[in-house]
Amino acid sequence: MEQHTIADEIRELAQERDAVIIAHNYQRGEVQDVADFVGDSLGLARQAARTPASVIVFAGVHFMAETAKILSPFKTVLMPEPRAGCPMADMMTATDLAAWRKANPGVPVVTYVNSTAAVKALTDVCVTSANAVDVVRSLGAPKVLFGPDRNLASWVARSLPDVEIIPWDGFCPTHEQVSAEQLAQEQARHPNAEVIAHPECRPEVVDMADAVLSTSQMLCHVATSSAEEFIVVTEEGLLHGLAKAAPGKRFLNLEPRMFCPNMKVTTIEKVRDCLRDMSGEIVVTEDVRLAALASVEKMIAIG
């Protein structure tokens, strides 16, 4: 007799609850495999906005589930592990941003989606790694305030030399830890490998990359690139999807592997428990949600 797996249990519960399971590209492989949709921040936000399901189970980090709730207030948004945060999102508070805005009157505020709902509420337009350059270009502004990620800000500044980008001093600990020396050593070991890097990496690392891409853009890129081997400078969870996107190609992460502890606290058991108990509900107060909505809607419309 075939074994009834935890994945089977999850699929049955999802049907009973009219739930959709969406997972970020950095989630554990078994969590990605049980999800209805796997993607980058932009793809998942779009998916959350358009799903007809009444419950969204969000396997990712807190700002992603909050973004889903901002876009879908009448849906129940659950996180299997609501304590999964993003340290970068906590590097710019609403109080910080209010003071920054006040010190720079009239300058548009562009905020990375890796931010709290309260910060989004004080933002003109949000961006993700997939569309930051396009969104800033679309503003046509000579100068913007860009937070919280100084590295993504630097990537946008180099892509749009006519725009003055004033960065906040935040960063992703997982991507910031990679040094140019470390990448150079890996390149020396694999001289034929193409380097694909996330724009959350330091500028000197980004400069060494053949392509600078969001996580889902990397999945598309490897399938069409003529390269057979890639050095993947982003969180190691993406390698699960890369192996499926381009079977037979070789994907190398750095040593030590790039690891986001917050992305990995969600386990398949927690996905099951959350659906069974309808636990881990994400709440955004209506005043904050309404204030944040316009900036998030502009983000999902571009790119």
Residues engaged in binding ligand SF4 (CB under 6 A): 61, 86-88, 114, 172-174, 200, 235, 260, 262-263
Burial per residue of 270-289, b for 16 or more beta-carbon CB atoms within 10 angstroms, e otherwise? bbbbbbeeeebebebeeebb
Q: Count Cβ atoms below 10 Å from residue 11 Cβ, excluding itself.
A: 15
Q: Which is nearer to ligand 13P, 194 or 236 (CB)?
A: 236
Dihedrals phi, psi of 245, to nearest 5 degrees: -70, -30
Q: Which does 59 bind (CB under 5 to 8 A by kind): ligand SF4, ligand 13P, none?
A: none
108 to 147: interface string for ligand 13P, x by CB under 6 A:
------x-------------xx------------------
Q: What is the DSSP letter of 257?
A: P
Q: Which is nearer to ligand 13P, 63 or 69 (CB)?
A: 63
Closest separation between CB of residue 28 and ligand 13P, Å? 15
Closest separation between CB of residue 217 and ligand SF4, Å? 15
In order, the DSSP letters of 160-197 are -TTSEEEE-SB--HHHHT--HHHHHHHHHH-TTPEEEE
Closest separation between CB of residue 97 and ligand 13P, Å? 19
Q: Which is nearer to ligand SF4, 26 or 251 (CB)?
A: 26
Q: Which is nearer to ligand 13P, 108 or 303 (CB)?
A: 303
The span from the CA of 60 to the CA of 80, in Å, is 9
Closest separation between CB of residue 12 and ligand 13P, Å? 29
- Which residues are within 8 A (CB) of 189 and not within 5 positions of it... i.e. 6 or more apart? none
The span from the CA of 198 to the CA of 175, in Å, is 8
Assess 197 for contact with ligand 13P (CB under 6 A). no
Q: Which is nearer to ligand 13P, 51 or 131 (CB)?
A: 131
- Contact residue for ligand 13P among 71, 172, 205, 299 (CB under 6 A): 172
Residue 9, token pair as written in the block = 């249990």
Q: What is the CA angle 40-16-68, rounded to 5?
A: 30
Closest separation between CB of residue 5 and ligand 13P, Å? 28
